Structures are given as structure tokens and as C-alpha cells.
Chains A and B, each alone.
Chain A
Amino acid sequence: MATISLEKLTKSFGSNTVVHGIDLDIADGEFVVLVGPSGCGKSTTLRMIAGLEDISAGAVRIGGEIVNDREPKQRNIAMVFQNYAIYPHLTVAQNIGFGLYTARLDKAEKQKRIEAAARTLDLEELLKRRPSQLSGGQRQRVAIGRAMVRDPVAFLFDEPLSNLDAQLRGQMRVEIKRLHQRLKSTIVYVTHDQVEAMTMADRIVVMRDGYILQVGTPTEIYESPADVFTARFIGSPAMNMLKATGSDGGLAVAGAASPVAARQAARGQMLVGVRAHDLVAGAAPQEGGLTLNGVVNTIEPLGAETLVHLTVGDTEVTATAPGKSALAVGQTISASAAPGSLYLFDAQSEKSLGRA
């Protein structure tokens, strides 16, 4: 196991820079998730750590040593790919054994390791099968098995669950997390799915356009997003953003019935964010809280709760209501959020101004 450090790591394709000198320290045994929309540079960063992509500037350290010019093999990392990259012409056992291709072990020792990995991943029954006879989840487990047998210093996952259906994805999420708890290995995991990031990560790294926007634990990212992008990207449904003006009398939020209590610092043009789960349809307005009046335009019942899409003035707002609510489209209702549940952002820079 080892630490991984990125120092001013940069990747350019010609004049097009896709990763802009990012810094990141990953502790030994940590599960770090790089998350961001497609094209944010997260996969490129992972491939630079793996050694599949040349580094344009900066450095990658694994276990304290700079590995920029080392072949992937010499870095002793393992990687799991989105399309599994397991070979159709080999059996499951041979595919897992491929990870030991260059290992100087005798046959019996290799066999023992393959069986141990298969046992960990519940693949023992399938060792003689070919990939075409396996389900998507089983294939992904074979790919993880191939990564495991070598005892690498770190695992790199490149969107490993994107090819699976929603149910299987949830299942594999738990399996990978358990695997990490058992192996206690360093994991760098790339995904565009914020649910995977929130559920699996020790620390989340939010990326956009080749920059790191924020690094923090899932709770930190969720509770104190650094900017509007992170606030809207993490959490589902996406956070509502409302225009507001701060003055001595509090925050005048567009569409709100009354001003919202805010700290003295909140002045001028800003954006107020409120999560759908904090904005409850039909709840009693609270002193200093946010209350919006709007027309219901869509209702999405989810069973435990119902998402209510409201038209408030010229903006769309998503609120929640209890599971069995008798709301109707076209109805005018009010939705309220408690004081302290709001997120404030500067209207110009879109940076966080704290909570209110």
C-alpha cells in the first residue's frame, strides 16, 4: 500500500490543456473518488497516475517516489476499466491469472492466488467459464480479481459501474466498498455519478474543466459546497438556485413571501441555494426561514416522498412533499425551508458565502 501525490499535474494535447496543474495528496489506504461531468479531466488524471498517458508537466509520486517516467507495470498499480477489459478468448481463471503474467511465482503459487481472489469475489464456481457466459456484474468482478491477485500498491477504477444496470450498480457499489474495508488498499475511483462519489468515498475530489474545485469528505462537500457548481452537482435532485439581494433588512429572495434572516455580511447581489429536501411543500412558514409561493407544474411520486416541481415567478423550483400527498398540477401552494438550511453564493464569482 502506498500514498499517491499529484504535484502541479498538467496534461496538454497540443495547445489544448485538459488538466491544469492540479495538486492532490492521497493517504495510504484512502478511498478517493474523482467526480465531475464528462470532459472535466478526471479520467485523464487517472490515466496519468496509471502511466497510460504521458505527463505534460508536474509530477506523480507513488509511495513518495516520482514515477513520471516509469512504465505502468513498474508503478505496481492495478486498474479496472469501464468495459472490464477481460479477454473473451480466456477463461475466468486465465483472465485473473493474467495479472500475474510477469510475476516470478511458480504455478502452484499462482494457482493459489487465483483461487484466493476468486474466493474473495465469489467467483469460485465460474473459474472455468468464459466471459461470454458471465453477467455484467460477474465480468466486473473478474476484472477486479485480475487487479487483486498482484497485490498492487493502489487500485485505480475508471468508471467501473457505468456499463451496469441501476440495480446491479447499487449492489457492486456495496461490494467494492466492502472490498476496500477488507483490503485496506489505496483506491482512486473515477465516476461521473455523484451517488457513487457520496456513498463510497472517504474523500471526494470535485473536478471541472481540468481544475479541482473542492476536496473534502462527502459530508463536507454536501454541507459546505465551495461554489454553485459543486452545490448543484452533488446531491439529487440538484439544489435550487434563486436570485437574491442582501440588505440590512435581510435577504430579499426572488419569489419569496418575506425577507430571510441573514448574517450581517450578506450584502448585494447573490444566489441563494436550497435543497429540495429542505424545501417542504405545505410546511408551516418559519420566522426567518424561506417561504416560496408557486404553481405546481409536475409531480414525481417516489414512494417515500414526492418531488414537486413549482413555477415560482420565472424560475423552476423543486420541493418535496410526504409520500402520500394529495397535490394536483395547477394548484398554487407554498413551500418552506427552515432558517439555517440555505446556502449563500456570490452572484458574480459563484463562490460560497456560507450558510443562512
Chain B
Amino acid sequence: MAESVSARSTGAAPTGRVGSRLTLHQRRVVWAWGFLALPILFYGWIRFYPTLYAFWLSFTDWDLMRPAQFIGLENYQRLFADPVFLKVFGNTFEYLLIGMPISLVLSFVIAYYLDRVRVLHGFIRALYFLPFLTTAAALAWVWRWFYQPVPVGVINGLLSHLHIPAQPFLRTPAQALPAITVTGIWAGLGFQIIIFMAGLRAIPATYYEAARIDGLGEWAILRKITLPLLRPTTIFLVVFSSIGFLRIFDSVFNMTHNDPGGPLNSTKPLVLLIYQTAFSSYDMGYAAAQTVVLFVILLVISLLQLFLLRDR
């Protein structure tokens, strides 16, 4: 009895450690915030602060030389009257609308059949994944070389073998953007295949066996079982790939190196325009306004994903 009393009094004494005066719950809270503090400070400083600062800059005429002056919505008015911006805005969505569906369908088909391949499965999967590991700039330069006229370009070499006239590819506004999109699709394919295969593997085999006993054909199983059960995977990849194509930059910059975004702005995406406005023209306020537009588009797509993925 005497012992327990003395133990209690030591615990309450002012000389006791700080931790011992807190309840178990309080101690857990302190630990949790302790661990959370570092990333919060880090993200706050390098992510949230610059983002908010960009919002502010978009309402100014900052050009690195003079202090920023508030000019209201002038940058945005200029933006939507600028034919180059509208062209670039269209280009960006063209990358998205060509690249995203094709890359998704292609990666799903490859994953669907690769899942059934037993021979050299790992090797084939590694081959598809390889482009994802390669530097984007290196990829772009290899593809740029592919698209060259004969005798350098292999694609035109192949076409001439088949007695098809040589194509200009990157040299004409009509073909340049699709040609660059192909590179983008190819670069992202490996990742999407891996994700799709993981999704396919997660569907229990008995679902398919039960369907076979119920008499469903291959196509009906795909439509009624595989695709609905793969929905979360598909939505994730739609968003992931959409964001990728909306932010396309390095392949364009490297493949049209002599005139980035050319010919005639036909391949210029939003990010490249922002880069040029900011770091070639030093029109920081205007570049910030363009960035805000891109930010809003990406935000809407991400929110759409959350909406579609919500638990019903």
C-alpha cells in the first residue's frame, strides 16, 4: 500500500519526464504529429507555397526585371484572345484524345493476352516494361531518328520496301502531332500493362469457372465480368494516362528540337508554351496564368476520378 502511494507521488512530481505527464492518447497524438511535421513543412514549402504564389503571379505583369504589379484579369483576357494559346490548348487535348484511348485499349489487349502466355512470360513482360525505365529524352531522340527520311529513318525505309511513298512525319503540321503521340503511347505502355495485369490477376479464377458453367462465351465473360470488375483499375489508368498526356513536354521538346513545338506550333502542348513564355519571353505573369489554366484542367480530371471511384 505504502509502495503504491509513493510510486504515484513520484509520477506527479514536477521532476518527472514530460512524456509521463501525458495520457496514452496525448502521447500518441504527439508522436503522430511529430512524424507528420516534416512532410507537411516540406510540401508546404516546395509545393503549396509556389502553387499559391503562381496564382498570385497570374494576376501580375512580373517579367523578372521590375517588381510585380497587380493587373487583375488582364493576363486571362489576353490568353483567351491569343491564337497561339488557343492552338496550343487544342493541341493539348488532341494529345489527350488520341493518346489516352489508344494507349488504354492497346495496353488492355496486350495485358489480357499476355496474362495467358506461359512461355517466356517474364521476359515478354520485361520487354514491354523496358521503355518505361528509359529516359524520356533518349526515347524521343530514338523515335526522331525513326521518323527521318530514307536512308536514315527505319520507318520510311520499311515503307519504301512495301512500295508506299515516304512520309514526312515530323516535318509536316498534319503528321507531326500524331507521330509524337505514338512515342508517348509507347513510352507509357509498359506501366499500363503491368497495372492492368495486376488488376486481371486480382479477379478470382472461380468467377470465370462459374461463368463457364453458366455457359458464357469468351466475349460475354469479358463484357459481363472482366471489364466491370476491372473498373477501378481502368479509371485509375484513364486518369493517370490523361494527366500524362495533358502534361506532355519532353518528347515534344526533344523530337522537335530545332523549333520546339513546330512546325508552325502544330505540336506545341500547353506545358511547352508555359516553358517558352516563362523562360524565353520572361513573361512570368502571363506564364502563371497559363499554368493556372492547366492546373484547373488537371484538378477537374482528378476530382472526376474521385467521383467515379466513390463507393456505391
- With a cutoff of 8 Å between Cβ atoms, the chain B residues found around residue A82 in the complex are 206
Verify B214–A89 contact, CB threshold 8 A.
no
- Which A residues between 86 and 133 are near B, CB-CB below 8 angstroms? 87-89, 98-99, 101-102
User: Closest CB of chain B to A123's CB: distance in Å?
Assistant: 18
User: Closest CB of chain A to B213's CB: distance in Å?
Assistant: 5
- The binding surface of chain A is classed by DSSP as loop
- Which 9 pairs across A and B sit closest by C-beta, in order of nearness? A73-B215, A85-B210, A102-B215, A85-B206, A89-B228, A72-B213, A81-B206, A72-B212, A79-B213
User: Closest CB of chain A to B311's CB: distance in Å?
Assistant: 9
- Which A residues between 43 and 74 are near B, CB-CB below 8 angstroms? 50-52, 71-73
User: Closest CB of chain A to B212's CB: distance in Å?
Assistant: 5
Tally of contact residues, B, Cβ under 8 A: 17
Verify A81–B229 contact, CB threshold 8 A.
no
B204-229 interface bits toward A, Cβ cutoff 8 Å, 1 = contact, 0 = none: 10110111111110001000110011
User: Closest CB of chain B to A39's CB: distance in Å?
Assistant: 19
Tell me if A6 counts as interface (CB < 8 A to partner B).
no
Tell me if A252 counts as interface (CB < 8 A to partner B).
no
- With a cutoff of 8 Å between Cβ atoms, the chain B residues found around residue A212 in the complex are none
User: How many residues of A sit at the interface, in one of the four size bands?
Assistant: 20 to 34
- With a cutoff of 8 Å between Cβ atoms, the chain A residues found around residue B207 in the complex are 85, 87
Verify B215–A85 contact, CB threshold 8 A.
no
- Total A-B residue contacts, Cβ distance less than 8 Å: 54
User: Closest CB of chain B to A170's CB: distance in Å?
Assistant: 24
Q: Write the residues of chain A forming the contact surface with B, with a CB cutoff of 8 angstroms.
A: 50-52, 71-73, 77-79, 81-83, 85, 87-89, 98-99, 101-102, 146, 150
User: Closest CB of chain B to A283's CB: distance in Å?
Assistant: 50
Verify A146–B214 contact, CB threshold 8 A.
yes
B168-212 interface bits toward A, Cβ cutoff 8 Å, 1 = contact, 0 = none: 000000000000000000000000000000000000101101111
Verify B209–A81 contact, CB threshold 8 A.
yes
Q: List 19 A-B contacts (CB under 8 A).
A: A50-B213, A71-B215, A73-B213, A73-B215, A78-B213, A79-B210, A79-B213, A81-B210, A83-B206, A85-B206, A85-B207, A87-B228, A88-B229, A89-B228, A89-B229, A101-B214, A101-B220, A102-B215, A150-B214
- With a cutoff of 8 Å between Cβ atoms, the chain A residues found around residue B225 in the complex are 87
Query: Interface centre among B204, B207, B228, by most A CB within 10 Å?
Result: B207
When C-beta atoms are compared, the residue in chain B nearest to A52 turns out to be B209
- With a cutoff of 8 Å between Cβ atoms, the chain A residues found around residue B224 in the complex are 101
User: Closest CB of chain B to A200's CB: distance in Å?
Assistant: 22
- With a cutoff of 8 Å between Cβ atoms, the chain B residues found around residue A51 in the complex are 212-213
- With a cutoff of 8 Å between Cβ atoms, the chain A residues found around residue B210 in the complex are 79, 81, 85, 146
User: Closest CB of chain B to A6's CB: distance in Å?
Assistant: 19
Verify A102–B214 contact, CB threshold 8 A.
yes
- With a cutoff of 8 Å between Cβ atoms, the chain A residues found around residue B209 in the complex are 50, 52, 79, 81, 85
Known contacts A85-B207, A87-B207, A88-B229, A98 near B214 by CB under 8 Å: yes
- With a cutoff of 8 Å between Cβ atoms, the chain A residues found around residue B229 in the complex are 87-89
- With a cutoff of 8 Å between Cβ atoms, the chain B residues found around residue A99 in the complex are 214
Verify A101–B206 contact, CB threshold 8 A.
no
When C-beta atoms are compared, the residue in chain B nearest to A99 turns out to be B214
- With a cutoff of 8 Å between Cβ atoms, the chain A residues found around residue B206 in the complex are 81-83, 85
- With a cutoff of 8 Å between Cβ atoms, the chain A residues found around residue B211 in the complex are 98
User: Closest CB of chain B to A163's CB: distance in Å?
Assistant: 12
User: Closest CB of chain A to B277's CB: distance in Å?
Assistant: 46
Q: Give CA–CA (A278, B136) in the complex, Å.
A: 79
Q: Give CA–CA (A89, B220) in the complex, Å.
A: 15
Q: Give CA–CA (A150, B214) in the complex, Å.
A: 9
User: Closest CB of chain B to A248's CB: distance in Å?
Assistant: 60
When C-beta atoms are compared, the residue in chain A nearest to B227 turns out to be A89
Verify A77–B213 contact, CB threshold 8 A.
yes
